[in-house]
Amino acid sequence: MNRHIIFFKTKKNRQNGFTLIELLVVMVIIGLLAALVVPKFFGHVDKAMQQDAQAQIELLGQALDLYRLEKHKYPSTDEGLKAIAPYLRKELPKDPWGNDFVYISPGEHGDYDLISYGADNVEGGEKNNMDLVSWK
């Protein structure tokens, strides 16, 4: 009977929890997984933002066409995209990187040019910095 009492006393005195080594191993595993997954995830995020910008350009183009149907012309570059605000359900959007779309009318590639300069907001660029335009 004493054995059982000693066993229970020992179990009561034992502390629950993880050792420092166990925590370090878990942190290393999480770090390795993050190193493998995060770059792939951000590649998809960049592509999604570019697709979003292209979709916004298309929607702005539709609003510009509605403006043209009513006013028989596209807004000038000076009037800008603010002229089509009444034709949008929400406020005039910015591109997914928080920059204003560039509107030029008459455009070099048609009646108007709509441009998002991408993540760097500078003309030209590749990958995430690639320009997204209305004429392509």
Domain annotation covers residue 86: yes
Domain annotation covers residue 35: no
pLDDT for res 45: 83
**Tens digit of each residue's pLDDT (9 = 90 or more) over 83-107:** 999 999 999 999 999 999 999 999 9
CATH of the domain at 126: 3.30.700.10
Count of CB atoms situated within 10 Å of the CB of 113: 17
Which band of pLDDT confidence, cut at 50, 70 and 90, is reported for residue 136? confident
Q: What is the mean pLDDT of residues 108-135?
A: 93
How many folded domains does the chain comprise? 1
Report the predicted TM-score, pTM, of the whole model to 2 decimal places: 0.70
Which band of pLDDT confidence, cut at 50, 70 and 90, is reported for residue 15? low
CA distances from 63 to 16, 49, 77, 82 (A): 64, 21, 15, 11
Q: Which domain holds residue 132?
A: 43-136
Domain annotation covers residue 130: yes
- State how far the Cα of 136 lies from the Cα of 134, in Å rounded to an integer: 6
Q: In what order do the strands lie in the sheet with 132-133?
A: 102-104, 113-116, 132-133
More confidently predicted of 66 and 3? 66
**Tens digit of each residue's pLDDT (9 = 90 or more) over 64-74:** 999 999 999 99
Domain annotation covers residue 85: yes
- State how far the Cα of 12 lies from the Cα of 7, in Å rounded to an integer: 9
Domain annotation covers residue 1: no
Domain annotation covers residue 132: yes
Nearest CA to 134 out of 120, 117, 119, 114 is that of 114
CA 66 to chain CA centroid, Å, is 28
Domain annotation covers residue 76: yes
